[in-house]
A and B are shown apart, each in its own frame.
Chain A
Amino acid sequence: MIHISKRVDFEIFRGKAAWLNRYVGWAVRLIAVLLSLIVSGILIYSITKMNPVRVYATMVKGAFGSTRKIWAWLRDLVLLLLIAVGLAPAFKMRFWNIGAEGQVLAGGIATAACMIYLGSANIPTPLFLILMAAASMLAGAVWGVIPAIFKAKWNTNETLFTLMMNYIAIQLTSFFIPRWEHPKGSNTVGIINAGTQAGWFPKIAGSQYLLNVIIVAVITVAMYFYLCRSKHGYEIAVVGQSENTARYAAMNVKKVIVRTMTLSGAICGLGGFLAVAGADHTISTTTAGGRGFIAIIVAWLAKFNTLTMILISALLVFLQKGAVAIASEFSLSNDVSDIITGIILFFILGSEFFINYKIGFSKSSGKEA
Chain B
Amino acid sequence: MENEVKAPAGAVCAESGEERIPAVRMEGISKRFGHKTANENVSLEIYHGEILSLLGENGSGKTTLMNMLSGIYFPDAGSVYVDGKLVHIRSPKDAFDLHIGMIHQHFKLVDLLTAAENVILGMKGKRLLDLKSVRRRITEICERYGFEVDPDKKVYDMSVSEKQTLEIIKVLYRGADILILDEPTAVLTPQETRRLFGVMRNMKQDGKSIVIITHKLHEVMEISDRVAVLRKGEYIGSLLTKDTDPQQLTDMMVGHRVSLNIERPEPENLRKCLEVEHLTVIDSEGVTKLNDVSFTANGGEILGIAGVAGSGQKELLEVIAGLQNAQNGSSVIYTDMEGRTSSLLGLTPMEIKKLGVALAFVPEDRLGMGLVGDLDITDNMLIRTYMEGHGMFVDFKKPRHLAEEIVRELQVVTPGIDTPIRKLSGGNVQKVLVGREISGHPSLLMSAYAVRGLDINTSFMIYRLMNEQKKRGAAVIFVGEDLDVLLELCDRIMVLCAGQVSGIVDGRTATKEQVGLMMTSLGAGAAGAEEKEGAK
Residues of A within 8 A of B (CB): 1, 3, 5-7, 9-14, 16, 225, 229-235, 237-238, 241-242, 244-245, 247-252, 358, 362, 364, 367-368
Contacts and interface: CB of A to CB of B under 8 A. Distances in A.
Given A245-B368, A248-B349, A5 B375 contact: no
Nearest to B73: A3
Contacts of B371: 245
Contacts of B386: 231, 234-235, 249
Given A5-B33, A241-B375, A367-B77, A248 B383 contact: yes
A367 B77 CA distance: 8
Nearest to B363: A248
Given A248-B363, A250-B348, A362-B77, A241 B373 contact: yes
A5 B31 CA distance: 12
25 contacts: A11-B374, A11-B376, A11-B420, A12-B375, A14-B376, A229-B394, A230-B394, A232-B392, A234-B379, A234-B386, A234-B394, A237-B372, A244-B369, A245-B368, A245-B370, A249-B349, A250-B348, A252-B348, A358-B34, A362-B77, A364-B75, A364-B76, A364-B77, A367-B77, A368-B86
Contacts of A6: 34
Nearest to B321: A248
B152 interface: no
Interface string B469-496: 0000000000000000000000000000
A240 to B, nearest CB: 9
Chain A contact residues, majority secondary structure: mixed
Interface of B: 33-34, 74-79, 86, 321, 323, 348-350, 352-353, 361, 363, 365, 368-376, 379, 382-384, 386-387, 392-394, 418-420, 423
B393 A242 contact: no
Nearest to B75: A364
B22 to A, nearest CB: 18
Given A230-B394, A231-B394, A232-B392, A238 B387 contact: no
Nearest to B379: A13
A237 B371 CA distance: 12
Given A14-B379, A242-B368, A364-B77, A230 B393 contact: yes
A244 B321 CA distance: 12
Nearest to B354: A250
Contacts of A368: 79, 86
Q: 10 smallest A-B Cβ distances: which pairs?
A: A250-B349, A12-B374, A250-B350, A364-B77, A244-B369, A249-B383, A241-B372, A13-B379, A11-B376, A234-B386
A238 B418 contact: no
Nearest to A368: B79
A6 B323 CA distance: 34
A16 B418 contact: yes
B423 A9 contact: yes
Given A14-B376, A248-B363, A252-B350, 12 more contacts: A5-B33, A10-B420, A12-B375, A12-B420, A231-B386, A238-B372, A244-B369, A248-B321, A250-B353, A358-B34, A364-B77, A364-B78
Contact of A247 (B349, B352, B365): B349
A6 B422 CA distance: 13
Given A13-B375, A14-B379, A249 B79 contact: no
B349 to A, nearest CB: 4
A244 B379 CA distance: 17
Contacts of A244: 365, 368-369
Contacts of B76: 3, 362, 364
B376 A248 contact: no
B34 A231 contact: no
A231 B75 CA distance: 45
Given A230-B392, A234-B379, A248 B370 contact: yes
A157 B240 CA distance: 58
Contacts of B369: 242, 244-245, 248
A249 B86 contact: no
A245 B367 CA distance: 8
Given A9-B423, A364-B76, A229 B393 contact: yes
Contacts of A249: 349, 383-384, 386
Contacts of B77: 362, 364, 367
A286 to B, nearest CB: 38
A249 B373 CA distance: 14
Contact of A11 (B75, B368, B370, B379): B379
A231 B77 CA distance: 48
A250 B419 CA distance: 24
A132 B536 CA distance: 74
B417 to A, nearest CB: 11
Contacts of B79: 368
A316 B368 CA distance: 37
B392 A231 contact: yes
Contact of B387 (A7, A231, A367): A231
A3 B323 CA distance: 42
A231 B389 CA distance: 10
Contacts of B384: 249
A11 B323 contact: no
Contact of B34 (A1, A5, A13, A237): A5
